[in-house]
Structure formats: C-alpha cells, structure tokens
C-alpha cells in the first residue's frame, strides 16, 4: 500500500487530522496510566498474608460487666471453643492479619541507640503459629511457660523487675533478613524498650501485619508471648476446614452464648471477609479505572467513526473516480484502514510521551513508582485495535461506492 | 435573530441525528464523570464549620526528644500530652479552649435483656459545644466547674436519644456507660460536621456519622475510658495513668477572634515552649497554630484516590471536548455550500459565527441534561462504595447549576474552532462547486 497519496490527502485535512491525533494521544496517555494504576491495585490486593486464610474465622465478644479474672475467662472461652466439633485449633490474639487495628513498637538492636531501627507490629496471643497456619522455618514455637500476663508485664515494666517480663519472641523471615542480613537470627536480641529485651527463638515464614499499607514493611512482624486476657479488643481465631466454616461459625456462636448468655458478639467473620474489607478501597478504585478506560475507548471510537464517516462522504466523488480507473473495493478499504493506522500511530507516539509526563506528575504527587515500559504497548495495541474497529464501518461504506458516481455531477 | 439561529441549529442537528447523538453522548459522559468526582471532592474538602472555621485554631507543641530534630524542618507533634493540654487550658489565653480525645463507650440499654453496644465517645471539656456551635435539642452542656469535679454527666447525640428514649426529653435521666451511671445534661440536634475535623489524628474516622456521647474528660478517665490513639515519646512504665505518662493523646482547640489574638496566642505558645525547655521538660522549641482549614490541609484529609479520580475525570472531559470539536468541525465543513449561499445572500461573518456557536450551545445544553443523569448515576455508584463518606455523596443545588456551566463552557470552547472555520470560508468557491 502506497502511503504517499494518503499523506498528501491528510495534508489537505490538517485540522481534522490533528484533532483526531490529539484525541488518540490523550486517550493513549490516560489508558497507559490507568492500566498501570489497575495493575498496582491488583498487585496490592494479592499481597500474601502467610496464614491459612480459607480455614480461619475471627470472633470478638464484649462483656456486659468486665470479668473479675480476664485471663481465666479467656482460658475458659478457648476451652469451650475447642470442644466445638469441626474446630481444629483455637488462638487468642490482640490483632489479626489485615485487621487494620494494630499494636506496634519501635525496635532497637542496642538498648542505648537513640533512634529506632524500625517500627514493627507485635502480635500478643497464645497458640498463634499453629492456628494461623504460618510455617516455622527455624527454631521453636512459643511455649506456654514463655507467656506472661499483660498486667504482670506492665508491673514489671514499672518496677524494673525483669522476671515478670517476656523474654523471647518469634519474628518473620523478612524481619530477620532486614535486621541481620545473611546471619542466623536465632539467639539474637531485639529491644522494645531499654529493659524489654526479647531473644529470637523462632522464625516464621510469613505473617503480615494488620496495617499492611506499605508493601516493603508489611512483614515487619513479631509474636510476643504476652497473655492479654478477655476484653472487647481481643480476637478468638478459629481454624477449621474450608467447607466447615459456616457450620462451625454457627456452632461456635451457640457455644459462646451458652457459656455466657449476657455478652454480645461484636465481630464474626471469615478471613476471606477480613481480606475483602482490607482491600475494598483498592477494589473499588480498580473497578472505577476499568470503567473509565472503557468509557474513554468508546468515546474515542465514536470520534473516529464520526470523522471517518465525514471523510468518506466528502470524498465520495474521488472514490468513484478511483473505482472507475480500476481500483478494487479492497483497495478503497485498505486506503481508509491505512489512513487510520497512520493517524493512530502518530497519536500513539505522542501519547507515549504524554503518558510518561503524566506518570512523572503522579510520581511527584501520589508516591507511585515509574511506569514500566511494558505498559506502553498495552495502550498502543488497544488504540490501534479501537481505531481499526471504528474505521471499519465507514471504510466498508466507502468501498461500496459504485464507480458510476464518477460520471455524475453532484 | 436568535430565534432564527435556534431554528437553523435545530434543523441542522436534526438533519444528522447519528452525529448529533454521538456528540451529545460523548459530552454527557465527560460532564457526568467530572460532576460526579467534583461533587465528592467538594464534599471531602469542604469547610465543616463555615461560620466559625476562621476563628478556630489548633495549637501544636513538641515534647519529643532532641534526636532527629532539624530546626525549621521538623513539624511539631500532632497531639498533646495531658500536662501540656491542661496547662494551655488553664492559662485561658483564648476566648475559648478545649481539649479532647476520642474513645469508645459501652452503652447498656435500660430495657432489660438488650445487649450492650459500643458507641463513639468524645472525652472533652466544657467549652466544646459553644466553641463548635453544636446545637442542643434539650438541655445544655456542662459547666467548667464540672470539668474539675469529675461529675458523672454526659451529653448525648440526638440519634442515641432516639434509640434509647424514643426521642423524648431525657435531660435528668441516667444512662449506663461502661458499667457506671451518668446523668444526661443535654441532647444534641443532629450534628456531624464533615470532614470530622476534631477527630483528625485522634484515631477517629475523617468522615461519616457524628459521635454518640460526650463526657467530661476527667470523668471519662476516672472510669478507665482510654483514648483511641496514643503516641509515646519515651519509655512508658505505667500506661494506665496516661495523665502522667510521656504520651500524647489529646487534641487542643482554641477560639481566637481576631489577628491580634492569633499573634498573641502564637507568642504565648513560643514562650510556653521556651519555658518548658528551661524546666527540662521539652527539648524542641517548635510550635504551630494552624487554623481549622489549614489543619485539615496539613492532615491531607482528602484521600489521594479522590484527587486522582477528579484528575482522571478532567482528562476524560478534555478528550470529550476534543472529540466534540472534531465532530462539529466535520459537520460544519460538510455544510460549506450552505454557508456559501448564506454569505452570498448577505449574512455577515459574525452572523455565521453566532449561528454555529448557538448550535454548539444546544449540543452543550443537551449534554448537560444527559450529563446530570450520568452524574446522578455516578453518585449512586459512589454511595454504594465502601468508603466512609459514601452516604454523603449527593448533588446539591450549587453542583446542579455548575453542571450547566461546565456543559455550556465545554461546548462553547469546542464550538469556537468550527464556527471560526465556517465564518472565514470564502463564499465564491463554495457556490462554484455547487
């Protein structure tokens, strides 16, 4: 296909051609960035938790009057829950992965260092590793005699009595690698305060923090042997088989009600719900971006249809002459398709530059990473396709122009 | 003359229904998206107390350790320790001053057998209601003396009064909160300023429903109610007694009536910080006194996603306008002969220009009406989103009118180029071609 005649024709329609190119360029730029944003959101929503999500339930209860001994109360509840048929394992915890509400601490590797090394989250609870299903990669799990009641620990903090403080901790592999790159973390000590030194006794494969907003710090997690006692902020985590979740949840609620008819259940949900809730904004944003991309491509396609129809109508006579001089229907069709391809290509080239510019702006204002090159072809291909699809109708109409038109005066 | 242009324009638009529909539809989509996102953006970045916000200020101090402090760059802490908050309150340097923290209160309904439920609570001081113009349905707030006495008094929100007392005047009755009896002294009318400016950095939501109960700070602390958010700057030995712990958990607001008062308070804050440094309590001299809107900006209360969506919608509208320019241009170039005839019969360039602008304006108005429909659909979608501001997303009269401003503006801008092209066409060649 000879493109020189096409170029010379376009030169006579400069204004409309440039408008079309501009529209394609803007669309391409926005589509590239929007697809990139969707990719970012999907990637975030895919963040691993390190726990057996499809096998876990979370329950929180609130008492009418605070129990006189919250630790005994919690032990009773856990015993009641363990009795429920279908329950594989039960844990208590002050927080849950992706649960938003979190307890965190500044950790130091040397009690005297002025600045914190990093900000890690602290899980307090019994039987967590087994129930959550996170894998222990080295060392040992926490043992019952590692545990200290939170009030005892607080008193110990007050009077400096180290016997009433916890002494050991579990950490994630990511945290171990961050604190002591390439070294064995077992036996090393992390300081939560100058008097609370925790010896690392075990490393778990992965356990995400409740407030995992920053991917790089999502696995800065410690499990500390502190018993919190029953209160409204504590969660019971129940492991069961995925297919038993609904029936176990119902049975567990009945069992808790029987143990104390007075209290209310404030949270009852599966871990699938926890994850869904944590990432709901990302899902909504990704959905909205998909909608915007679709609407943009439709508007651009409509624009192409409109202008192409106009060009076809305007050149009816010329087309007739070409047909009379021996051009086939296929030649006419190719002519309009090639014309659109040329315009789209120029638009896409400009669009790439613009996409890069928009990305720079977004990087400056929204803490986004640089647009990877792989997103450029996405915008290019979608616009080439949309262009060809949109021009097909008008081009077919052009190809249907009979040669006899050339002989008629308009 | 205008009626004639209108008639011509309508004829022309009717002649090519498909092209006209395409133009209106594309413009309406762009306008719908823009109005939807702008409505949300306006809602989220609005002034929660328009009549008062210029007089409300948020003082900040910095009790943090010296490490990491860079003079002039490190911002002071967002919340305050109990000691500092009380010192500022008792200094009475402003017209009104209030300290507050957010908490949760367990409410036990009077009817036996009902389960207790948790409600959002504000622990604060006497000036709160007058300072923030919180309107009372029944009764009043508590007196300054009650702040110190630790009296078990409470002000409840209208919706809690409806729930517990069926909306009747409950002043003087008791309500059981966190296993203690409190006497109700006031019931608020519906009050939920958006954004929830006073909840910033205290661990509360930025948007959504108002709080249910308001208690005197000292009373609430005496019954072990804890703040939603606590930040400690030194090793804590006794987290139960937050009043003496090196922890920040209170927000302080002051009311200052004029610039002189603001300047006076600023110098008071600096001298307070210097005095604390002299006493060895503080290491950093940094202070701040932002007004309400400044504080909301500083807190970046509007979510990034919402700003991104608004930007995206404007990009979309831009593409729709370019699209309309192209289609209008195509339409007007096809009518070269008609224009030639009109020019030959005596129409001036100005008249041709006006005629095409009227045509563009009609497309714009149609796009505006349809765009309004799309915006309502968009806002319906937003209301079904999980965001905390979702239920607030409604089109108000201002945005309703603004829709037509945007529609008319967009279509007239889109119409300029085609109309200009039409009016500069030389009539003779067009007539000859015919």
Question: Residue ranges per domain, chain B?
Answer: 2-45+303-433, 53-298
* The domain boundary residue, chosen from A278, A308, A339: A278
Q: Is A314 on the interface with B (CB under 8 A)?
A: yes
Q: What is the pLDDT of residue B392?
A: 81
- Residues of A with Cβ-Cβ distance to B227 under 8 angstroms: none
By mean pLDDT, which of A315-319, B193-197, B230-234 is the weakest? B230-234
B241 touches chain A (CB under 8 A): no
**Residue A289 and residue A196 share a domain:** no
Could you say which of A278, A298, A322 is where a domain stops? Answer: A278
Residue A192: the pLDDT is 86
Residue A5 has pLDDT above 90, yes or no: no
| Contact flag B320-A299 (C-beta cutoff 8 Å) | yes
Stretch A266-274: mean pLDDT, rounded? 91
Mutate to test the interface with B, among A164, A290, A299 (most CBs of B within 10 A): A299
- pLDDT score recorded for residue B86: 93
CB-based contact A292 B331, cutoff 8 Å: no
Smallest Cβ distance to A19: which of B108, B312, B322?
B322
Tokens of B422: 């039409």
Q: Does A360 touch chain B (CB under 8 A)?
A: no
The beta-carbon neighbor of A302 closest among B26, B68, B325 is B26
- The residue among A247, A278, A309 that closes a domain is A278
Instruction: Determine the pLDDT at residue B87.
Output: 92
Cβ within 8 Å of A, B 158-217: 179
Interchain pair A281, B238: CB under 8 A: no
pLDDT at A104: 84
A267 and A290: one domain?
no
Q: Which of A126-140, A214-228, B330-344 has the lowest mean pLDDT?
A: B330-344
Q: Which residue of B has its CA nearest to A29?
A: B315
Most confident of A23-27, B21-25, B384-388: A23-27
Whether the per-residue pLDDT at B151 is higher than 90: the answer is no
pLDDT tens-digit map of B284-310: 888 899 999 999 888 888 888 888 888
Q: Give the pLDDT score at B433.
A: 61
pLDDT tens by residue, A138-162: 999 999 999 998 888 888 877 777 7
pLDDT of A173 higher than 90:
yes
Mean pLDDT computed over every residue of chain A: 88
Does A193 share its domain with A334?
A: no
Q: Per residue in A285-327, pLDDT tens?
A: 888 889 889 988 988 998 898 888 888 888 888 888 888 888 8
Q: Write out residues 289-348 of B within 8 Å (CB-CB) of A.
A: 304-305, 308-309, 312-313, 315-316, 318-320, 322-323, 325-327, 329-331, 333-334
Q: Are residues A24 and A85 in the same domain?
A: no
Give the pLDDT confidence score for residue A409 in this predicted structure. Answer: 58
Statement to judge: residues A149 and A123 lie in one domain? yes
Residues from chain B that touch A193, judged by Cβ atoms under 8 A, are: 235-236
Q: What ipTM does this complex have?
A: 0.81
* pLDDT exceeds 60 at position A1: no
Q: Which residues of B touch A316 (CB under 8 A)?
A: none
What pairing do the DSSP bridges indicate for beta strands A118-124 and A104-107? antiparallel
Please report the pLDDT score of residue B73 as a whole number: 77
Please list every residue in chain B whose beta carbon sits closer than 8 Å to the beta carbon of residue A194.
235
Could B312 and A65 be called an inter-chain contact, meaning their C-beta atoms sit closer than 8 Å? no
Same domain for A22 and A142, yes or no, is no
Which chain A residues touch B108 with a CB distance below 8 Å?
Answer: 64
Maximum mean pLDDT: which of A72-81, B70-79, B236-245, B386-395: A72-81
A213 Cβ under 8 Å from any chain B Cβ: no
pLDDT in tens, B46-77: 888 988 889 999 999 988 887 777 777 788 88
Task: Examine the domain organization and report whether A317 and A254 are in the same domain.
Answer: no
Residue B201 clears pLDDT 80, i.e. is over it: yes
Instruction: Name chain A contacts of B179, Cβ cutoff 8 Å.
Output: 64-66
Contact A299 B30 (CB under 8 A): yes
pLDDT for the residue B112: 58
My answer on whether A17 and A65 are in the same domain is no
Question: A residues 173-212 near B, CB within 8 Å?
Answer: 193-195
Q: In Å, how far is A366's CA from the nearest CA of chain B? A: 7
Q: What pLDDT is stored for residue A271 in this prediction?
A: 93
| Mean of pLDDT values over A184-198 | 88
Share of chain B above pLDDT 70, in %: 97
- pLDDT of the residue at B155: 94
How many structural domains compose chain A? 2
> Is A294 in the B-facing interface, judged by CB distances under 8 Å?
no
> Three-class SS string for chain B?
CHHHHHHHHHHHHHHCHHHHHHHHHHHHHHHHHHHHHHHHHHHHCCCCCCCCHHHEEEEECCCCCCCCCCCCCCCCCCCECHHHHHHHHHHCCCCEEEEEEEEEEEEECCCCCCCCEEEEEEEECCCHHHHCCCCEEEECCCCHHHHHHCCCEEEECHHHHHHHHCCCCCCCCEEEECCEEEEEEEEECCCCCCCCHHHCCCCCCCCCCCCCEEEEHHHHHHCCCCCCCCEECCCCCCCCCCCCCCEECEEEEEECCCHHHHHHHHHHHHHHHHHHHHCCCCCCCCCEEEEHHHHHHHCCCCCHHHHHHHHHHHHHHHHHHHHHHHHHHHHHHHCHHHHHHHHHCCCCHHHHHHHHHHHHHHHHHHHHHHHHHHHHHHHHHHHCCCCCCHHHCCCCHHHHHHHHHHHHHHHHHHHHHHHHHHHHCCHHHHHHHC
**Contact assignment for A22 to B322 by CB distance below 8 Å:** yes
Lowest mean pLDDT among A156-165, A254-263, B15-24, B119-128: A156-165
Instruction: Please check whether residues A28 and A177 belong to one and the same domain.
Output: no
Chain B residue closest to A301 (CA)? B323
Q: What is the pLDDT of residue B113?
A: 60
Which A residues, 74 through 133, put their C-beta within 8 Å of a C-beta on chain B? 114-115
Q: Which chain B residues have a beta carbon less than 8 Å from that of A298? A: 29
Rounded Cα–Cα distance for residues B109 and B427 (Å): 85
Residue A410, pLDDT > 60, answer: no
Q: Does A290 touch chain B (CB under 8 A)?
A: no
Determine whether the interchain pair B333/A310 forms a contact, defined as Cβ–Cβ distance below 8 Å.
Answer: yes
Q: What is the pLDDT of residue A141?
A: 92
Instruction: Choose the closest CB to A300 out of B25, B319, B334.
Output: B319
Mean predicted lDDT score pLDDT of chain B: 87
- Show residues of chain A in contact with B308, CB under 8 Å: 37, 362, 366
Q: Check residues B237 and A171 and name the one with the higher pLDDT.
A: A171
Q: What is the pLDDT of residues A78-137, one digit of tens each?
A: 999 999 999 999 999 999 999 888 888 888 888 888 778 888 999 998 899 999 999 999
- In this structure, the answer to whether residues A201 and A59 fall within a common structural domain is yes
Same-domain status, A352 and A371: yes
Structural domain including A18 reads 4-46+281-407
């Amino acid at each position: 296909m000879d493109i020189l005649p096409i170029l010379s024709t376009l030169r006579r329609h400069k204004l409309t051609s440039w408008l079309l190119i501009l529209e394609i360029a803007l669309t391409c730029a926005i589509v590239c960035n929007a697809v990139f944003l969707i990719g970012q959101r999907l990637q975030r929503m895919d963040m691993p938790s390190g726990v057996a999500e499809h096998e876990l339930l979370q329950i929180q209860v609130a008492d009418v009057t605070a129990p006189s001994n919250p630790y005994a109360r919690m032990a009773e509840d856990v015993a009641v829950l363990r009795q429920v048929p279908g329950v594989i394992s039960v844990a208590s915890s002050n927080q849950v992965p992706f649960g938003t509400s979190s307890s965190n601490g500044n950790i130091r590797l040397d009690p005297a260092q002025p600045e914190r090394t990093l900000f890690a989250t602290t899980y307090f609870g019994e039987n967590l590793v087994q129930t959550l299903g996170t894998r222990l990669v080295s060392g040992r799990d926490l043992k019952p005699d590692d545990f200290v009641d939170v009030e005892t620990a607080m008193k110990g903090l007050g009077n400096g009595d180290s016997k009433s403080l916890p002494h050991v901790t579990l950490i994630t592999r990511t945290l171990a690698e961050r604190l002591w790159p390439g070294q064995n973390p077992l036996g090393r000590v992390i300081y939560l305060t100058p008097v609370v030194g925790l010896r690392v006794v075990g490393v778990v494969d992965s356990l995400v923090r409740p407030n995992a907003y920053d991917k790089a710090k999502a696995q800065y997690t410690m499990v500390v042997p502190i018993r919190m006692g029953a209160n409204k902020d504590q969660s019971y985590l129940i492991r069961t088989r995925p297919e038993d979740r609904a029936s176990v949840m119902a049975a567990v609620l009945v069992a808790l009600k029987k143990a104390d008819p007075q209290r209310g259940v404030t949270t009852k949900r599966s871990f699938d719900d926890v994850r869904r809730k944590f990432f709901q904004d990302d899902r909504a944003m990704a959905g909205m971006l998909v909608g915007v991309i679709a609407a943009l491509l439709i508007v651009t396609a409509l624009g192409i249809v409109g202008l192409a129809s106009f060009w076809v109508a305007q050149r009816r006579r010329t087309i007739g002459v070409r047909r009379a001089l021996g051009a086939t229907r296929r030649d006419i069709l190719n002519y309009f398709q090639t014309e659109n391809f040329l315009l789209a290509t120029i638009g896409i080239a400009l669009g790439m530059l613009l996409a890069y510019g928009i990305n720079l702006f977004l990087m400056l204002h929204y803490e986004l990473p640089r647009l990877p090159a792989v997103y450029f072809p996405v915008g290019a291909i979608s616009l080439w396709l949309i262009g060809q699809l949109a021009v097909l109708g008008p081009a077919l109409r052009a190809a249907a122009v009979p040669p006899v038109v050339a002989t008629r005066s308009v | 003359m205008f009626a004639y242009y209108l008639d011509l324009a309508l004829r022309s638009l009717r002649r090519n229904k498909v092209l006209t529909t395409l133009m209106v539809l594309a413009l309406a989509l762009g306008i719908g998206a823009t109005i939807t996102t702008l409505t949300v953006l306006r809602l989220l970045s609005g002034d929660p107390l328009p009549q008062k916000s210029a007089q409300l200020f948020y003082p900040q101090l910095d009790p943090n350790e010296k490490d990491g402090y860079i003079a002039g760059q490190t911002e002071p802490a967002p919340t305050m320790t109990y000691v500092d908050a009380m010192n500022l309150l008792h200094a009475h340097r402003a017209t009104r001053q209030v300290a507050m923290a957010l908490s949760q209160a367990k409410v036990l309904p009077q009817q036996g057998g009902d389960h207790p439920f948790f409600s959002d609570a504000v622990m604060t001081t006497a000036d709160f209601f007058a300072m923030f113009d919180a309107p009372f349905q029944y009764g009043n707030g508590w007196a300054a003396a009650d702040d110190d006495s630790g009296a078990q008094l409470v002000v409840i929100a209208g919706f809690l009064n409806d729930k517990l007392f069926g909306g009747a005047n409950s002043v003087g009755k008791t309500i059981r909160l966190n296993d203690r009896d409190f006497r109700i002294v006031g019931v608020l009318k519906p009050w939920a300023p958006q954004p929830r400016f006073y909840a910033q950095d205290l661990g509360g939501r930025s948007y959504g429903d108002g709080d249910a109960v308001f208690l005197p700070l000292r009373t609430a602390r005496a019954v072990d109610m804890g703040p939603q958010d606590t930040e400690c700057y030194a090793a804590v030995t006794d987290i139960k007694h937050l009043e003496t712990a090196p922890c920040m958990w209170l927000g302080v607001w002051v009311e200052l009536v004029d610039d002189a008062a603001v300047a006076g308070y600023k110098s008071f804050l600096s001298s307070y910080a210097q005095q604390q440094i002299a006493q060895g309590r503080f290491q950093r001299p940094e202070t701040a006194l932002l007004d309400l809107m400044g504080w909301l900006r500083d807190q970046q209360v509007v979510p990034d996603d919402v700003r991104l969506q608004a930007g995206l919608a404007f990009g979309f509208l831009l593409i729709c306008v370019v699209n309309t320019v192209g289609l209008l241009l195509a339409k007007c170039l096809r009518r070269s002969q008609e224009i030639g005839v009109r020019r030959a019969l005596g129409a001036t360039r100005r008249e041709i220009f006006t005629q095409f602008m009227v045509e563009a304006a009609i497309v714009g108005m149609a796009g505006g009406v349809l765009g309004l429909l799309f915006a309502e659909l968009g806002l319906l979608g937003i209301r079904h989103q999980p965001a905390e501001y979702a239920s607030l997303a409604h089109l108000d009269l201002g945005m309703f009118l603004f829709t037509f401003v945007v529609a008319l503006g967009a279509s007239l801008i889109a119409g300029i180029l085609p109309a200009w092209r039409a009016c500069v066409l030389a009539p003779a060649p067009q007539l000859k071609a015919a």
